[in-house]
Chain A
Amino acid sequence: QKEVEQNSGPLSVPEGAIASLNCTYSDRGSQSFFWYRQYSGKSPELIMSIYSNGDKEDGRFTAQLNKASQYVSLLIRDSQPSDSATYLCAVNMWNTGFQKLVFGTGTRLLVSP
């Protein structure tokens, strides 16, 4: 089992729709979870972090965390063509007292006008 799993996509949604991106992780002890957006040829950009079970909203983005199910998701409301990118789920795992981020392989999102 991979440490962090995501559907590679592409996930295609029309402009204005809600895009739902999902991620599962293997380490039950993980406490910190992140979503990064990466445009082609660019570096990963942090868009959301979540530490507690439930929902966290920031503008059009909502992160959802369910530690019991080892599941984290990202909802993008009113999707725009500029949201087209690869979304990387990252989970903080402890390594000898220090954190390391383990990334999923990313889900490619395509928002069509």
Chain B
Amino acid sequence: DTAVSQTPKYLVTQMGNDKSIKCEQNLGHDTMYWYKQDSKKFLKIMFSYNNKELIINETVPNRFSPKSPDKAHLNLHINSLELGDSAVYFCASSLPRGSGNYEQYFGPGTRLTVT
């Protein structure tokens, strides 16, 4: 199936730990994103990569470090996890600016719970 996939789906961990979330898309898109949806369901962009290059960094704490090994993959590593990091993290992808199509497609999400 063509889609955006994420692993793991659920992540429960303790404060101070380091964890990673992985994202892969097989839609042939060049641009990928990480979003955070908090407990009030507000969805906010964190990072965007275009063909492995970081293009948007929305003043996210530097404990969050995205990495894009190739344009089909975008991972998110979080150091020293805090209670406030508990949220659902969504990966998304889209065609690049020159395509004229700006639709973004979302992965299933990773629910992170920090205890």
Q: Which residues of A contact B (CB under 8 A)?
A: 32, 34, 36, 38, 42-46, 49, 86, 88, 90, 92, 95-103, 105-106
Q: How far in angstroms is the closest Cβ of chain A from B39? A: 12
- Interface window among B14-22, B44-52, B74-82: B44-52
Residues of the B chain whose Cβ atoms lie less than 8 Å from the Cβ of A92: 102
Q: Please determine whether A100 and B41 come into contact, CB atoms closer than 8 angstroms.
A: no
Complex Cα distance, B58 from A96, in Å, reads: 12
Name the one of A45, A86, A99 contacting B97, with C-beta atoms under 8 angstroms: A99
Residue of B nearest to A94 (CB): B97
Complex Cα distance, B56 from A38, in Å, reads: 24
Complex Cα distance, B100 from A20, in Å, reads: 28
Q: Please determine whether A103 and B106 come into contact, CB atoms closer than 8 angstroms.
A: no
Q: Please determine whether A100 and B43 come into contact, CB atoms closer than 8 angstroms.
A: no
Q: How far in angstroms is the closest Cβ of chain A from B58? A: 8
Name the one of A34, A86, A96, A106 contacting B55, with C-beta atoms under 8 angstroms: A96
Residues of chain B from 78 to 100 with CB closer than 8 A to chain A in the complex: 90, 94, 97
Q: Please determine whether A101 and B45 come into contact, CB atoms closer than 8 angstroms.
A: yes
What per-residue 1/0 map shows which CB atoms of B25-59 lie under 8 Å from chain A? 00000010100000011111100101000011010
Task: Assess whether B104 is interfacial by the CB under 8 Å rule.
Answer: yes
Residues of the B chain whose Cβ atoms lie less than 8 Å from the Cβ of A42: 108-109
Q: Please determine whether A86 and B41 come into contact, CB atoms closer than 8 angstroms.
A: yes
Q: How far in angstroms is the closest Cβ of chain B from A33? A: 10
Residue of A nearest to B102 (CB): A32
